[in-house]
Amino acid sequence: MDKQQLVIFDTTLRDGEQSPGASMTREEKLRVAKALEKLRVDVIEAGFAVSSQGDFEAVKSIADTIKDSTVCSLARTTHVDIERAAEALKNARSARIHTFIATSPIHMKYKLQMTPDQVVEQAVSAVKLARNKVGDVEFSLEDASRSEFDFMCRIIEQVINAGARTINLPDTVGYGFPAEYADTIGRLIAAVPNADKAIFSVHCHNDLGLAVANSLAAVMQGARQIECTINGLGERAGNAALEEIVMAVRTRKDIFPVETHIDTTQIVATSRLVSSITGFPVQPNKAIVGANAFAHESGIHQDGVLKYRETYEIMKAQDVGWSTNKIVLGKLSGRAAFSSRLDALGIQFDSKTVMNEAFLRFKELADKKREIYDEDLQALVSEIQVKEDGIEHIILGDLAVTTKTGQLPNAALSLTYKGEHYRTSADGDGPVDAVFKAIEKLINSQAELKLYLVNAVTEGTDSQGEVTVRLEKGGRIVNGQGADTDILVASARAYLNALSVLENPDRLHPQLGGV
Ligand code: KIV
Ligand code: ZN
């Protein structure tokens, strides 16, 4: 049987970023977009251009850079939204405007305060305007799973006539149930007279834990685009997880009439990148990308796998990018080996100074840790790449922490900021608290610590600790990362990286000040 293409539309940078606290700077969004391009997603929803100047710039820089995926911006059905989306996308090699309006009785009556006729009229004129700007327009019926069937048929027919080429039917509130949701999609495709001129798409939220099941059930009834996010990030309980969708379709090719273009070997690296940038950890038992997803604990299982892998494994860990912990570099590796490994991992530095710093940090690490894995390099550059964002960073000098049973830990440290050197020390309730208090004694940011997260990059006690710190001040939320074999150093760097972004007034949070 010839397989049809299932379009993978990734909305990590738009709906994913709507997870409270998952804010990303423009540079971080661009890094994720490059990883998504490498993963070969078909469409990258880069943001909601009208929502703020920061998000406009993020969509624009992604549109200016990405070549192999379509770049999309969300827009309400208003003139200003569509103009702004088109402006941000103007240099994209392949651009899509995704416009939406709610179609359920409850949303039309209470939220929009519009009649169904007004909703149809506004949807049609938005799609026409968007089609004047770009050739590829998607229309979403927000809250479709609670919308009336006949009304959906009417609006879909008219927006397709107006030029929409993708019709998305979101389960906005995660209310759908697989058989029922899929049945509605199938009936819509059969009932709308011009349905053959559009691709029908699904976008499911995970409030009842059914986002992936609902999306896949809809594919069985004719949906040919799935909107999803890396690690299932997204508003409230999240969206359908890209990695689960893609691996389900691939593993059960015996039942799915579709295939995707995804390079599955990039899944784990992309998951790690999104997790470290957003500070949203991946639970160990998460399908595909959780640390235990391919670990067999029970003796019976281990015995079976050793005798014949397929007894207990339906997928190969390597197929989704779990490396076999190959030693890639060590103390004797030079600059050429270092940069060729970075190339292989798809990591580039635009600035020579930042590249030099990355190499120095690699050498420092190789002195402390004999075996350097890909994961070590990714953690190391994850912290250093933020230095390419053009903002003035607060740099950690030396750090000494003393702890003794029965005494308060003390941290003594030095910092460099705007060319000046500072030194201080502070006691804290624990060693990390002492480090943060010492930094605050010098910077006095008045930011609130929202998250402190440590993750071991590889196995063993010599592993680097990768720390994420989330700070909030005046409604602005930023994340910072740091990696080192000494987790107190990693913690200090993560805190300083977050502060550097926070202290820079030009760096607006992408979703602040907008809609
Ligand atoms: O969940 C939803 O309905 C959305 C739309 C804007 C597509 O995110
Ligand atoms: Zn959504």
Cβ-contact 478, 469 below 8 angstroms: no
Domain that holds residue 218: 4-278
509 belongs to a structural domain? no
Contacts of 197 (CB under 8 A, 6+ apart): 160, 165
Are residue 412 and residue 370 in the same domain, yes or no?
no
Q: Specify the amino acid at residue 110.
A: Y
Are residue 28 and residue 51 in the same domain, yes or no?
yes
Q: How confident is the model at residue 464 (pLDDT cuts 50, 70, 90)?
A: confident
Cβ-contact 192, 157 below 8 angstroms: yes
Are residue 375 and residue 457 in the same domain, yes or no?
no
Secondary structure (DSSP) of 439-458: HHHHH---PEEEEEEEEESS
What mean pLDDT do residues 295-314 have?
78
Cα separation values, 126 from 80, 132, 162, 196, 319, Å: 10, 10, 9, 21, 42
For residue 90, the SS3 value is coil
| pLDDT per position as a tens digit, 33-61 | 999 999 999 999 999 999 999 899 999 99
For residue 225, the SS3 value is strand
512 belongs to a structural domain? no
Are residue 270 and residue 351 in the same domain, yes or no?
no
| Residue located via tokens 């029970």 | 298
Q: Specify the amino acid at residue 10.
A: D
Are residue 416 and residue 316 in the same domain, yes or no?
no
254 belongs to a structural domain? yes
232 belongs to a structural domain? yes
| pLDDT per position as a tens digit, 96-132 | 999 999 999 999 999 999 999 999 999 999 999 999 9
11 belongs to a structural domain? yes
Find out whether the beta carbon of 170 lies less than 6 Å from any atom of ligand 1: yes
Cβ-contact 47, 77 below 8 angstroms: no
Are residue 43 and residue 95 in the same domain, yes or no?
yes
Pocket test for ligand 1, best of 74, 138, 139, 171 (most atoms within 8 A of CB): 74
**Other CB atoms within 10 Å distance of the CB of residue 326:** 8
Query: Mind spelling out the 3-state secondary structure of 114-150?
Result: CCHHHHHHHHHHHHHHHHHHCCEEEEEEECHHHCCHH
Pocket test for ligand 1, best of 48, 104, 140, 235 (most atoms within 8 A of CB): 140
208: part of which helix (H) or strand (E)? Answer: none
Are residue 254 and residue 355 in the same domain, yes or no?
no
From the CA of 240, the nearest ligand is: 2
Considering 65-74, 290-299, 439-448, the range whose residues carry the highest mean pLDDT is 65-74
Cβ-contact 400, 415 below 8 angstroms: no
CA distance 53 to 422: 34
Q: How confident is the model at residue 388 (pLDDT cuts 50, 70, 90)?
A: low
Question: Partners of 389 in the beta sheet?
Answer: none
Contacts of 122 (CB under 8 A, 6+ apart): 77, 101, 114
Q: What is the DSSP letter of 178?
A: H
All residues with CB under 5 Å from ion ligand 2:
15
Are residue 188 and residue 208 in the same domain, yes or no?
yes
Cβ-contact 233, 13 below 8 angstroms: no
| CATH label of the domain that carries residue 258 | 3.20.20.70
26 belongs to a structural domain? yes
Nearest alpha-carbon partner for 122 in 161, 79, 85, 86: 79
For residue 369, the SS3 value is coil
Atom 2 in ligand 1: which residue has the minimum CA distance? 172
For residue 142, the CA-to-ligand 1 centroid distance in Å is 6
Cα 322 to chain centroid distance, Å, stands at 19
Contacts of 264 (CB under 8 A, 6+ apart): 246, 247, 250, 319, 320, 321
Find out whether the beta carbon of 172 lies less than 6 Å from any atom of ligand 1: yes
Are residue 343 and residue 471 in the same domain, yes or no?
no
| pLDDT per position as a tens digit, 151-184 | 999 999 999 999 999 999 999 999 999 999 999 9
Number of structural domains found in the chain = 4
Pocket test for ligand 1, best of 19, 74, 172 (most atoms within 8 A of CB): 172
From the CA of 235, the nearest ligand is: 2
Residue 348 has pLDDT above 80, yes or no: no
Find out whether the beta carbon of 485 lies less than 6 Å from any atom of ligand 1: no
Nearest alpha-carbon partner for 397 in 420, 381, 413: 413
CA distance 159 to 128: 8
| Residue located via tokens 């570099």 | 329
Are residue 102 and residue 190 in the same domain, yes or no?
yes
What pTM was computed for the model? 0.84
φ, ψ for residue 467, nearest 5 deg = -110, 135
Pocket test for ligand 1, best of 9, 11, 15, 233 (most atoms within 8 A of CB): 15
| pLDDT per position as a tens digit, 199-211 | 999 999 999 999 9
Cβ-contact 195, 188 below 8 angstroms: yes
Find out whether the beta carbon of 234 lies less than 6 Å from any atom of ligand 1: no
Q: Order of strands across the sheet with 476-484?
A: 448-456, 465-473, 476-484
388 belongs to a structural domain? no
Are residue 347 and residue 254 in the same domain, yes or no?
no
Instruction: Note the pLDDT of residue 507.
Output: 42
CA distance 193 to 154: 10
Nearest alpha-carbon partner for 158 in 213, 208, 216, 117: 117
| pLDDT per position as a tens digit, 239-270 | 999 999 999 999 999 999 999 999 999 999 89
196: part of which helix (H) or strand (E)? Answer: none
Sign of the four-CA dihedral 252, 227, 57, 383? negative
Residues in the chain: 515
φ, ψ for residue 260, nearest 5 deg = -115, 170
| CATH label of the domain that carries residue 446 | 3.30.160.270
Instruction: Note the pLDDT of residue 27.
Output: 86
Instruction: Note the pLDDT of residue 313.
Output: 84
Instruction: Note the pLDDT of residue 326.
Output: 59
Residue 155, by phi and psi: left (phi above 0), alpha (psi -120 to 50) or beta?
A: alpha
Atom 5 in ligand 1: which residue has the minimum CA distance? 142
Are residue 9 and residue 116 in the same domain, yes or no?
yes
For residue 418, the CA-to-ligand 2 centroid distance in Å is 41
467 belongs to a structural domain? yes
